[in-house]
């Protein structure tokens, strides 16, 4: 039997990439050097389908007004659409209730909200928060700020040479002072898929709640917060093909209802006098001020878009791209891949011997290939592997096998230049 061709591989995943690509106007635009755009930086931010772009424009053209305030039709329409977006996020995550979904600017703000609100209320000097060595800075710095403010301790679980959570170290990290586990679902630097259901199981055996950073998971795989048994789950809209400036925090209702507000202002109060303010119910209590109304409604459109596709097939497709790229990259002697966990998303971090990752990124850019070069906001991961940076190719639903071939050709060009 002949070896499967690239077309067979693409067909095998059951995803019509050409149809998907046609929804993304930016992919049809050549780069300024006249090259086909090969976009391999979806882990940083995803491109947007026409359906999302049009949904945001439609809000401003047809139903825009401030929400929760007006008695007039436009405001009521905008409010209804905004509230509907909350239900879409609830359904996306399979949360039990819309009351458990708080809109924020992005995943970073969601973690800061939990640290500032839940953390300041529930943690005291000497209490421990468990993190992993592969966290994004967004899931490190807010906890360090809390450490500096109130004296909590951060317990960092190491990662193995393959980029997996050191499981025994995790199981043994719990003490009588452990109060929270804050951990990524999928590593943005290494692609590792953390066995998050097991992480919550172990934490809950110790009576410890878990915050899951789902920024790299929600865009690429079905997520069920009830099945995962997460206490907090955060993600950013712009990584799931939605607009920038909107993200969501899921928090278990029993926990959220006891959390104090994060920011004060309009829309989060029940009543205000100079003597005393009482706060609104959840989730409004955490949404002070005018939110990103049009962006949130367009996030709803992005959720409709991805859930309208076969998400299992999309995941299969991204994993097939991962496997094909890994195989092709492994054929190049000078390439070293960081992050080789068996459970891994469509993220490939690599270095080319003798070439700085920034130079790799710049030369690839001349070829029309957009990759990320740097520490990926995970400096501890770089330190773990003793490198300053990597080049990272990450896949989205619009990537195809040609993109991988172009990447490989681009790397050959890098090697030619540096030979």
Strand blocks (E) in 115-177: 128-132, 153-157
Q: Which is nearer to ligand PLP, 399 or 415 (by Cβ)?
A: 399
Which of 169, 269, 280, 377 is the catalytic position? 377
| Separation CA 334–CA 261 (nearest Å) | 52
Q: Which is nearer to ligand PLP, 211 or 259 (by Cβ)?
A: 211
Q: How far is the CB of 136 from ligand PLP (least distance, A)?
A: 3
Q: How far is the CB of 47 from ligand PLP (least distance, A)?
A: 15
Q: Which listed residue (106, 296, 394, 399) binds ligand PLP by CB under 6 A?
A: 106
Stretch touching ligand PLP by CB under 6 A, among 134-142, 197-205, 292-300, 327-335: 134-142
Residues in the chain: 419
Does the CA dihedral 160-390-137-369 come out positive or negative?
Answer: negative
User: Which of 316, 305, 376 has the alpha carbon at shortest distance from 345?
Assistant: 316
Does the CA dihedral 9-12-14-19 come out positive or negative?
Answer: positive
- Under a CB-based contact definition with an 8 Å cutoff, are residues 293 and 67 in contact? yes
Stretch touching ligand PLP by CB under 6 A, among 51-59, 133-141, 196-204, 260-268: 133-141
Q: Which is nearer to ligand PLP, 193 or 363 (by Cβ)?
A: 193
Three-state secondary structure call for residue 321:
helix
Q: Which listed residue (215, 218, 370, 373) binds ligand PLP by CB under 6 A?
A: 215
| Separation CA 400–CA 247 (nearest Å) | 27
Q: Which is nearer to ligand PLP, 127 or 213 (by Cβ)?
A: 213
* 47 lines the binding site for ligand PLP (CB under 6 A): no
| Separation CA 82–CA 88 (nearest Å) | 10
If binding means CB under 6 A, how many residues of this protein chain bind ligand PLP? 14
* 133 lines the binding site for ligand PLP (CB under 6 A): no
* 136 lines the binding site for ligand PLP (CB under 6 A): yes
* 179 lines the binding site for ligand PLP (CB under 6 A): no
377 catalytic per annotation? yes
Give Cα separations from 335 to 78, 313, 323, 357, 372 (angstroms).
51, 29, 15, 11, 16
Q: Which residues bind ligand PLP (CB under 6 A)?
A: 44, 106-108, 136, 138-139, 184, 188, 213, 215-216, 236, 377
Q: Which residues are catalytic?
A: 377
């Amino acid at each position: 039997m002949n070896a499967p061709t690239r077309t067979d591989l693409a067909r095998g995943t059951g995803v019509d990439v050409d149809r998907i690509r046609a929804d993304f106007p930016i992919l049809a635009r050549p780069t300024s050097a006249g090259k086909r755009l090969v976009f391999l930086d979806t882990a940083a931010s995803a491109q947007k389908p026409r359906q999302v772009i049009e949904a945001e424009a439609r809000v401003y053209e047809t139903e825009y007004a401030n929400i929760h305030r007006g008695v007039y039709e436009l405001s009521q329409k905008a409010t209804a659409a905004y509230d509907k977006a909350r239900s879409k996020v609830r359904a996306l995550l399979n949360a039990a209730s819309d009351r458990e979904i708080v809109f924020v600017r992005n995943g970073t703000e969601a973690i800061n909200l939990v640290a500032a609100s839940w953390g300041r209320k529930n943690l005291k000097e000497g209490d421990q928060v468990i993190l992993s060595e592969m966290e994004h800075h967004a899931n490190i710095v807010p906890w360090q700020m809390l450490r500096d403010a109130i004296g909590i301790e951060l317990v960092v679980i190491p990662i193995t040479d393959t980029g997996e959570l050191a499981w025994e170290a995790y199981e043994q990290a719990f003490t009588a002072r452990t109060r929270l586990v804050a951990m990524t679902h999928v590593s943005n630097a290494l692609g590792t898929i953390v066995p998050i259901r097991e992480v919550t199981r172990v934490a809950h055996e110790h009576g410890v709640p878990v915050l899951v950073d789902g920024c790299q998971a929600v865009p690429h795989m079905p997520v069920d917060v009830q099945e995962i048994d997460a206490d907090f789950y955060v993600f950013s809209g712009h990584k799931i093909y939605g607009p920038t400036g909107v993200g969501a925090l899921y928090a278990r209702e029993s926990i959220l209802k006891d959390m104090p507000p994060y920011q004060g202002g309009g829309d989060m109060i029940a009543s205000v006098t100079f003597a005393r303010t009482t706060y609104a119910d959840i989730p409004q209590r955490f949404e002070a001020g005018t939110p990103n109304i049009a962006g949130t409604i367009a996030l709803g459109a992005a959720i409709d878009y991805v859930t309208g596709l076969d998400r299992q097939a999309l995941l299969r497709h991204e994993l097939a791209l991962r496997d094909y790229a890994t195989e092709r990259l492994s054929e190049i002697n000078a390439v070293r891949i960081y992050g080789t966990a068996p459970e891994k998303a469509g993220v490939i971090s690599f270095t080319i011997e003798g070439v700085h990752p920034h130079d790799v990124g710049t030369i690839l850019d001349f070829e029309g290939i957009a990759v990320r070069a740097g520490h990926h906001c995970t400096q501890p991961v770089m330190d773990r592997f003793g490198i300053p940076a990597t080049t990272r190719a990450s896949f989205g639903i619009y990537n195809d096998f040609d993109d991988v071939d172009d990447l490989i050709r681009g790397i050959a060009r890098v090697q030619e230049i540096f030979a």
